[in-house]
Chains A and B, each alone.
Chain A
Amino acid sequence: MSLLNYTLRIADSSLISGQRLAEWCTNAHTLEEDIALSNIALDLFGQANILLEYASELDGNKTADDFAFKRNEREFFNLKMTEQPNGHFGDTIVKLFLFSSFNFLFYNKLSQSKNKNLSAFAFKSLKEVKYHLKHSKSWMVRLGDGTKESNKKVQESLNSLWEFTGEFFEMDEIDNELNKKGIGVNNKSIKEDWNNIINTTLLDSKLKRPEDGYMQTGSKSGLHTEHLGRLLSEMQYLQRAYPDAKW
Chain B
Amino acid sequence: MWLFDRDLWIEIFHTLGKNMFRTFLTMLGVIFAMVILVLLLGSANGMSNGFNKIFAGTASNSLFVWGQSTSEPYKGFERGRRIRYKIEDADILKKQIPEIEVLAPRIELGSHRSVVSVYRNGQTSGSAVYGDYPEIDEITKKKLVEGRFLNQTDIEHSKKVCVIGEETYKLLFDKGEKAIGQDIRINGVYFSVVGIYKPNNNINIDGENAVFIPFTTFQKAFNSGDRMGWMAIAVDPKTPVPLVEKQIKDILKHKYDIHPDDDRAIGSFDMSEIFNNITSFTMVLQGFSFFVGIFTLLAGVIAISNILLITVKERTKEIGVRRALGATPKIVKRQIVVEAIVLTAFAGLVGFAISVGILAIMNSMWGSGDDFPFANPMISIPQFVISFVLMVGLSVLIGLLPANRAVKVRPIEALREE
Do chains A and B stick together as partners? Answer: no
